[in-house]
Amino acid sequence: MDVTISEVGPRDGLQSIERTMSTTLKVAWIRALAASGLREIEVGSFVSPRLLPQMADCGDVVRALHSDTENPPAFDILALVPNLKGAEAAIAAGVTRVSVPISASETHSRRNINRTTDEAIAEFARICAHHREHGGVSECTGVEAGISTAFGCTYEGVVDEDRVIDIAVKLAEAGAESVGLSDTTGYANPAQVKRLFTRLDAEIGERAGGAHFHNTRGQGLANVVAALEAGVRTFDSSQAGLGGCPYAPGASGNIVTEDLVFLLEAMGLDTGIRMDALLAARDVLREALPGEPLYGNVPDAGLPLGFRYAHEAA
Amino acid sequence: MDVTISEVGPRDGLQSIERTMSTTLKVAWIRALAASGLREIEVGSFVSPRLLPQMADCGDVVRALHSDTENPPAFDILALVPNLKGAEAAIAAGVTRVSVPISASETHSRRNINRTTDEAIAEFARICAHHREHGGVSECTGVEAGISTAFGCTYEGVVDEDRVIDIAVKLAEAGAESVGLSDTTGYANPAQVKRLFTRLDAEIGERAGGAHFHNTRGQGLANVVAALEAGVRTFDSSQAGLGGCPYAPGASGNIVTEDLVFLLEAMGLDTGIRMDALLAARDVLREALPGEPLYGNVPDAGLPLGFRYAHEAA
């Protein structure tokens, strides 16, 4: 595989819509996604069920995925955790890796998790310490950090690039397996993306993580092209762009997995994913959430005549 | 200006929908587009009114744009012509440049204009000869060629890249002021775009023209980023992505001018276009075609907080 797509629909998509999908349907959708060749799936958030009732069954989802001991998950089970308590629950439930968002914008950090950025970094260090102590006896191989509002903030506007890189270095020093950058607000542009990821790689090398882009202003895949130029090889995306952006009716929040797979494979970059199986997972999603808007162009337009996957073209 | 956006909505958009806009409304919309700072607008096609009744008034539109002699058009008036007859009419009406599509796919060429590619190149040479003879006494400064199906064909699938470059060289030799490449089918990917435009530049240098991308598979702006890397500085786009793609409900045919302006300006590339005036032109379009789907994310999401145009950031 040349590029890893980390499917975040069951987490970012489902927590962005009002309806709650049942545990059984979540597991069915996640298994269908995995059957398409996805090697990483973020299956939920370990957060307060008062804040996000859609995610209240996250532990059950993880345990259900492990329940078929004859067919253990052939993919990495990721979960988002905002704090140590969430990380403890996620690791106990059996996730492969936990992912922790830390906001580069002070205002966003305070409003989102009621902590300053420094406090969030300190909490991240505690999560890493907990993992070092208890990770060995669990399935959990590491703790990932994702810097949210890395490309701009709806409260603060421009976010200083030096500050983003500074935070990334601190998170790597705290023990992050990887530090990714998130365009939480759909503010990013390709020039900025190339610049920041190039700096990230220069500063933290092999701990430089993936890109999480939103498509709020239609720039998601354009930013992927720029990130590829900067050497990024892991991208978050959401099947059907689930969880449409409230600022842009008709625009998906996350970039659409189906369109991203086409982009990468057409460019000759192997993702290990097959479109027919991915569209079968889309059907599972459609049946699970009748009437929910499903985004993406490739599902409607189809693959081009004569299309070859990267592994066939090589 | 760092990048020229060539607005093709009044041609490619209006000829792709069934309704016909009146001459008066076309002129009002085109004037509103020009007021946003657009320096190139393709205002229509000089084709048989039996084939495209929406374009029957193309000469009237051009003459109306010239009618206010105290305020002559501050933009280049482009028109698409499929043959010598159309070019004669366009030049007589007062266009600044004519644009001629030549298909790289033999099958597409035969089905679209009932000519082989070689016959289309020969007709293009006749158009250039006509322009050399009569252009001097008209407004028309040159003849542009656009190679359609340059990135793939819905009949033939893959289109040979050597063949595309070979056609480009022949068109340049025939007298093309510029030779652009069109992704008529929405097949293009960024790796291919970068490769082909780099070769185009190497082969015909200053006659290498712009990029015309469709967003059929959601890859339009991603392809723009790749074309920028290859040195392309002229891009076709359509306000509101007018003329939605029949293969992909909800997907625009052309890339959306509003989203393209944001992409380029955010990257620090001056387009000379202002979003507020561009959105005012979108309102003119909305009133002219009530109920017609208007695409694009930036019009809904707005510009980011703290956004600066390239000329302000420089």
Contact: A217, B251; criterion CB under 8 Å: no
Q: Do residues A31 and A71 touch, judged by C-beta distance below 8 A?
A: no
Categorize the per-residue pLDDT at B311 as very low, low, confident or very high, splitting at 50, 70 and 90.
very high
Residues 58-87, chain A: which have Cβ within 8 Å of B?
Answer: none
Count of domains observed in chain B: 1
- Tell me the C-alpha distance between A60 and B173, whole Å: 69
Has residue B248 got a pLDDT over 60? no
Q: What is the pLDDT of residue A250?
A: 46
Q: What is the pLDDT of residue B55?
A: 96
Across the interface, which of B157, B251, B305 has its CB nearest the CB of A301? B251
Contact: A297, B248; criterion CB under 8 Å: yes
Has residue A248 got a pLDDT over 70? no
- Tell me the C-alpha distance between B181 and B164, whole Å: 9
Residues 101-130, chain B: which have Cβ within 8 Å of A?
Answer: none
- Tell me the C-alpha distance between B88 and B201, whole Å: 30
- Tell me the C-alpha distance between B245 and B151, whole Å: 17
Q: Do residues A122 and A83 touch, judged by C-beta distance below 8 A?
A: no
Nearest chain A residue to B191 by CA distance is: A267
Contact: A222, B217; criterion CB under 8 Å: no
Contact: A306, B158; criterion CB under 8 Å: yes
CA B300 to chain A, closest CA, distance in angstroms equals 5
Categorize the per-residue pLDDT at A245 as very low, low, confident or very high, splitting at 50, 70 and 90.
low
Residues 163-192, chain B: which have Cβ within 8 Å of A?
Answer: 185-187, 189-192
Across the interface, which of A248, A259, A306 has its CB nearest the CB of B301? A248
Average pLDDT over residues A119-123: 98
Q: What is the pLDDT of residue A155?
A: 93
Across the interface, which of B189, B266, B301 has its CB nearest the CB of A266? B189
Average pLDDT over residues A40-57: 95
Q: Measured between beta carbons, which residues in chain A are less than 8 angstroms from residue B298?
A: 217-218
**B156 contact A CB<8A:** yes
State the DSSP code for A100. E
What is the Rg, in whole angstroms, of the alpha carbon atoms belonging to chain B?
18
The pair of structure tokens assigned to A36 is 């398409």
Q: What is the pLDDT of residue A40?
A: 98
Angle at A190 between CA A186 and CA A195, to 5 degrees: 110
pLDDT tens-digit readout, A186-202: 999 999 999 999 999 99
Closest CA to B217 of B255, B167, B179, B261: B255
Across the interface, which of A215, A250, A297 has its CB nearest the CB of B216? A297
Average pLDDT over residues B160-168: 98
Q: What are B119-124's contacts with CB under 8 Å, separation 24+?
A: B121/B167, B121/B170, B121/B171, B121/B174, B123/B83, B123/B84, B124/B100, B124/B171, B124/B174, B124/B176
- Tell me the C-alpha distance between B286 and B242, whole Å: 10
Closest CA to A96 of A74, A117, A112: A74
Share of chain B above pLDDT 90, in %: 89
Has residue A152 got a pLDDT over 70? yes
- Tell me the C-alpha distance between A171 and A167, whole Å: 6
**What is the maximum alpha-carbon separation in chain A?**
53
CA B228 to chain A, closest CA, distance in angstroms equals 11
Q: Measured between beta carbons, which residues in chain B are less than 8 angstroms from residue A263?
A: 189-190, 219, 222
Q: In degrees to the nearest 10, what's the CA dihedral of B33, A252, A232, A306?
A: -80
Q: What is the pLDDT of residue B139?
A: 84
Q: What is the pLDDT of residue A134?
A: 83
Q: What is the pLDDT of residue A112?
A: 85
Q: What is the pLDDT of residue B314?
A: 74
Average pLDDT over residues B80-109: 96
Q: Do residues A224 and A255 touch, judged by C-beta distance below 8 A?
A: yes
Q: Measured between beta carbons, which residues in chain A are less than 8 angstroms from residue B296?
A: 218
Share of chain B above pLDDT 70, in %: 97
- Tell me the C-alpha distance between B213 and B231, whole Å: 16
- Tell me the C-alpha distance between B101 and B121, whole Å: 10
Has residue B18 got a pLDDT over 90? no
- Tell me the C-alpha distance between B156 and B162, whole Å: 15
Q: What is the pLDDT of residue A246?
A: 46
The residue behind tokens 């489902």 is A14
Has residue A9 got a pLDDT over 90? yes
Contact: B300, A192; criterion CB under 8 Å: no
Across the interface, which of B222, B268, B301 has its CB nearest the CB of A251? B301
Q: What is the CATH number of the domain that holds A142?
A: 3.20.20.70
Contact: A305, B152; criterion CB under 8 Å: yes
CA B295 to chain A, closest CA, distance in angstroms equals 9
pLDDT tens-digit readout, B66-84: 998 898 999 999 999 999 9
Average pLDDT over residues A209-220: 96
Contact: B304, A187; criterion CB under 8 Å: yes
Residues in a beta bridge with B237? B7
Average pLDDT over residues A27-56: 96
Helix (H, G, I), strand (E, B) or coil at B100: strand
Has residue A247 got a pLDDT over 90? no
Nearest 5°: phi and psi at A19?
Answer: -70, 155
- Tell me the C-alpha distance between A282 and A276, whole Å: 10
**A313 contact B CB<8A:** no
Nearest 5°: phi and psi at A175?
Answer: 120, 15
Categorize the per-residue pLDDT at B247 as very low, low, confident or very high, splitting at 50, 70 and 90.
very low
Q: What is the pLDDT of residue A210?
A: 98
Has residue B212 got a pLDDT over 70? yes
Per DSSP, the residues of A15-81 read: GGSSS---HHHHHHHHHHHHHTT-SEEEEEE---TTT-GGGTTHHHHHHHHHH-TTS--SSEEEEE-
Has residue B270 got a pLDDT over 90? yes
Contact: A300, B247; criterion CB under 8 Å: yes
Q: What is the pLDDT of residue A244?
A: 61
**A255 contact B CB<8A:** no
Average pLDDT over residues A168-191: 97
Strands (E), A133-186: 142-148, 178-183
Average pLDDT over residues B236-256: 74
Categorize the per-residue pLDDT at B245 as very low, low, confident or very high, splitting at 50, 70 and 90.
low
Q: What is the pLDDT of residue B246?
A: 46
Q: Which residues contact A275 (CB under 8 A, 6 or more apart)?
A: A258, A261, A262, A298, A303
Domain that holds residue A151: 4-313
In this prediction the ipTM stands at: 0.95
Has residue A283 got a pLDDT over 90? yes
Across the interface, which of A154, A192, A263 has its CB nearest the CB of B219? A263
**What is the maximum alpha-carbon separation in chain B?**
53
State the DSSP code for A255. P
The pair of structure tokens assigned to B191 is 């790796």
Q: What is the pLDDT of residue B244?
A: 61
Listed range (A58-67, B83-92, B240-249) with the worst mean pLDDT:
B240-249
Average pLDDT over residues A136-141: 81
Q: What is the pLDDT of residue A105?
A: 96
Residue B140 bears catalytic tag: no
Q: What is the pLDDT of residue A251?
A: 46
Q: Measured between beta carbons, which residues in chain A are less than 8 angstroms from residue B297?
A: 215-218, 248, 250-251
- Tell me the C-alpha distance between A141 and B123, whole Å: 66
Q: State the best of A223, A224, A225, A247 to mutate against chain B, taking most chain B CBs within 10 Å.
A: A225
State the DSSP code for A39. S
State the DSSP code for B38. -
Which residues of A are tagged catalytic? 245
Nearest 5°: phi and psi at A291?
Answer: 85, -10
Has residue B252 got a pLDDT over 70? no
Q: What is the pLDDT of residue A196?
A: 98
Helices (H), A58-116: 58-67, 84-93, 106-113
